[in-house]
Amino acid sequence: MGTAMLCVMGRASCRTRSWGQGDLTGGLVDQVFTQVRQAVPGLAIERLAVTRASDDDNVYFLGVGAVLDRVQVDTGPGGQPPFLVETGSCRVVTSEVAEAVAAVSAGLGSGDAGSGDDLP
């Protein structure tokens, strides 16, 4: 799909590929990404690109502009909950789309969390 690139989120380097609006998992994370894209102009999403089919590729790196690793989202298989949302200073585990949207939006510095709720 997109060009593979190298990213670092406070850990070892990893290869990713661009995850556009037309890319879907078929899981609830698609709703999370759709809502965050509406709330955060210029959102960029990269998905972990693995070398073996048995490896877990349900890891996404989100950012705005040139900073593509501000938020990391891990999901269950097929983009299903639970969602693990990590930023440099926050970690949220949830099975709720609205809570995941709020956590991602807050991590990206968006004033509109998309759900109208603040993080706990």
Domain coordinates of the chain in residue numbers? 5-107
Give residue 55's pLDDT band: very low, low, confident or very high (50, 70, 90). low
| Side chain identity, residue 27 | G
Neighbours of 22 (CB within 10 A): 6
Give residue 25's pLDDT band: very low, low, confident or very high (50, 70, 90). very high
Mean pLDDT of the region 19-40: 95
Q: What are phi and psi of 10, to 5 degrees?
A: 70, 15
Instruction: Say yes or no to pLDDT of 91 above 50.
Output: yes
The chain-wide mean pLDDT, for the chain, equals 81
Q: What is the pTM of this model?
A: 0.76
